[in-house]
């Protein structure tokens, strides 16, 4: 079965030795993605003049899903081909705001299966969410 890794140069580089995704036959396995941007900044973060940090789960969710879209497009797919996602939230109090954004991209009728879990932390203290996904596409 044909297999190859996908590492995008226009996306934040993974923080360890793994690809953004791996295509194996008809499946694309996408590594956990965050709202990190190519310059290593984090979407959905505002630093106020007095030093406070405001973290916006809605903006981070949107950025994560858009990063997912970029990875899938590089693999020859799009969000419509996603069959399963796992969502990692640092705070379940963000669940409703996360869902409001998620529901703009996916529907119960045509969208992927989903598991959402709370985690104690993610690799950077400003990250509120990470999503990993599996997509199914015709063989290349």
- 140 pLDDT higher than 70: no
- pLDDT beyond 70 at 96: yes
Read off the pLDDT band of 1 (50, 70, 90).
confident
3 against 67, higher pLDDT: 67
Domain 3-136, CATH among 3.30.1330.40, 1.10.8.420, 3.30.1360.70, 3.40.50.970: 3.30.1330.40
Specify the range with the lowest mean pLDDT, choosing from 2-11, 43-52, 85-94, 96-105. Answer: 2-11
* CA dist list (Å): 120 to 14, 21, 34, 58, 101: 20, 24, 15, 19, 22
pLDDT tens for 114-128 read 999 999 999 999 999
Residue 139's pLDDT is 65
Rounded Cα gap, residues 39 and 136, in angstroms: 30
59 DSSP 8-state letter: H
* The pLDDT of residue 99: 98
Check residue 2 and give its pLDDT. Answer: 81
> Confidence band (pLDDT; 50, 70, 90) for 15?
confident
CA distance 123 to 121: 7
Q: Find residue 136's DSSP bridge partners.
A: 27
SS3 content of the chain, % helix, strand, coil (to 5): 25, 30, 45
Give strand ranges (E) for the chain. 3-6, 21-24, 27-33, 45-47, 53-55, 82-89, 113-118, 129-136
pLDDT at 92: 98
Residues 6 or more apart whose CB falls under 8 angstroms from that of 140 comprise: 2, 23, 76
Structure tokens at 107: 């529907």
Cα Rg of the chain, angstroms: 15
């Amino acid at each position: 079965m044909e297999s190859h890794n996908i590492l995008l140069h226009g996306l934040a580089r993974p923080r360890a030795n793994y690809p953004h995704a791996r295509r194996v036959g008809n499946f694309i396995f996408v590594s956990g993605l965050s709202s990190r941007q190519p310059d290593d900044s984090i979407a959905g973060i505002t630093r106020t003049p007095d030093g406070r940090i405001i973290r916006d789960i809605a903006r981070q969710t949107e950025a994560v899903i858009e990063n997912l879209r970029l990875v899938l497009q590089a693999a020859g797919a799009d969000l419509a081909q996603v069959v399963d996602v796992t969502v990692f939230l640092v705070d379940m109090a963000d669940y409703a705001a996360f869902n409001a954004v998620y529901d703009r991209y996916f529907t119960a009728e045509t969208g992927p299966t989903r598991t959402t879990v709370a985690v104690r932390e993610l690799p950077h203290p400003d990250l509120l969410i990470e999503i990993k996904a599996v997509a199914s596409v015709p063989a290349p």
